[in-house]
Amino acid sequence: MQVKAAITRGAGQAFEIATLELEPPRADEVRVRIAAVGVCHTDLVARDGGMPMAFPAVFGHEGAGVVEAVGEAVSKVKPGDRVGITFRSCGTCARCRSGDPAYCYMMPAMNYIGSRLDGSKALSDEGAAVSSNFFGQSSFATHALAYERNVVKLPEDIPFELAAPLGCGIQTGAGGVMLALAPPAGSAILITGGGAVGLAAVMGARIQGCATIIVLEPHAARRQLALDLGATHVLDPAGEALPTAVRAIVPMGVDYAFDTTGRSDVLSAIMACLAPKGVLGVVGIPQPGSGLPGDMGTVLTFGQTVRGIIEGDSDPDQFLPRLIEEWRAGNLPLEKLVKTYPFEAINEAIEAQHHGDCVKVVLTL
């Protein structure tokens, strides 16, 4: 069938709306009519050539919409079901069986290479193959092919534009705190970066009952939003050195830190903010070749931990419904983060997000 998609024809090039051909769903695939799709920083990293996908390519991995067709092996969903789409996992490896699908042994092959596992591509442009299957979906399009493992049924009451970013950015931020770090009530946490992932982390920290929630963010509007969402303190990186500012609030240092920047200078500064046995969780994408932050002697002396976090340690079938419950209860006010743009305005929307005019861009179709 013909679909409209935002295609990238070369690394770093702007998105272009084009008419492409989408193959019918295979036995294990689900065709979803996309109603809304979030724009995530990972999409832009991939667009700029930071992932092993050949161009031209269609990205997008925070899709939400309505199931239109399913292959004969699919039983989890049926045509007409409302679904959110998230990352894909195999379901059979040791990590998946233990409830850790974000660390599936097949994660790179199933999400990052731009094709099915057999090397075929679901999209084509006048007969020429287009890289697809990004995070098992490539949802910068009117329709996308997904799988049982990466679709989650949505209740009727959550709008598609709020459900879409649950698939990656929100579950990464909220899950990174609630599941991966799991701070106990009364603890202190530092969150560096007040974008969608960082602010989702703020909400997760508030749900966990953290007593001190410090956010480092350069944009004044986002600092204010962090306070509105539950941060107890906000810091401007243009002010005093981060360790000095943090220890003025928590003299012994923070118990937990959550970095969304991936910047080596920020990560090094965070290490000087940690309390004994403090834990740093990293979700920001670092430059290739970046070393681990901190002095190993200090890490050893104070028993500190640095750990990577993918997709918030989420098992989407379990965690996304929990996030929807928190949204219903008013603890996850996604409406304060999301700004919608028409699908065709994808390039303008990304520019607005880059300049801090909005926090989380969601494209509506």
What are the sequence ranges of the domains in the chain? 2-169+313-364, 173-309
CB-based contact 165:338 (threshold 8 Å) = yes
Q: Which phi and psi (to 5°) does residue 338 adopt? A: -85, 135
CATH of domain 2-169+313-364: 3.90.180.10
Q: What tokens does 339 get? A: 């700004």
DSSP 262: -
Angle at 175 between CA 80 and CA 210, to 5 degrees: 135
309, two tokens: 């976090």
Instruction: From 226, 230, 231, 248, select the one nearest 239 (Cα to Cα).
Output: 248
Within the chain, what is the greatest distance between any pair of CA atoms?
63
Tell me if 292 sits within 8 A of 270, measured CB to CB.
no
Q: List the alpha helices (DSSP H) in the chain.
A: 41-47, 94-97, 107-111, 160-163, 169-175, 196-208, 220-229, 242-249, 264-271, 296-302, 316-328, 346-354
Q: Are 141 and 132 in contact (CB under 8 A)?
A: no
Give Cα separations from 156 to 60, 149, 159, 163, 241 (angstroms).
Answer: 23, 21, 8, 11, 47
- β-strands 82-85, 151-153 pairing: antiparallel
Tens-digit pLDDT string for the chain (365 aa)? 999 999 999 999 999 999 999 999 999 999 999 999 999 999 999 999 999 999 999 999 999 999 999 999 999 999 999 999 999 999 999 999 999 999 999 999 999 999 999 999 999 999 999 999 999 999 999 999 999 999 999 999 999 999 999 999 999 999 999 999 999 999 999 999 999 999 999 999 999 999 999 999 999 999 999 999 999 999 999 999 999 999 999 999 999 999 999 999 999 999 999 999 999 999 998 888 888 898 899 999 999 999 999 999 999 999 999 999 999 999 999 999 999 999 999 999 999 988 888 899 999 99
Q: How far apart are CA 357 and CA 32, in angstroms?
A: 30
> Which amino acid appears at position 206 of this protein?
R
User: Parallel, antiparallel, or unpaired: how do β-strands 143-147 and 57-58 relate?
Assistant: unpaired
CATH 3.40.50.2300 fits 173-309, yes or no: no
Q: What is residue 281's predicted lDDT score, i.e. its pLDDT?
A: 98
Tokens 């939400």 — which residue?
A: 64
Q: Cα 17 to the chain's mean position, in Å? A: 23
The residue to which tokens 């009451």 are assigned: 157
Separation of alpha carbons 311 and 304, rounded Å: 22
Q: How far apart are the first and last CA of the chain?
A: 17
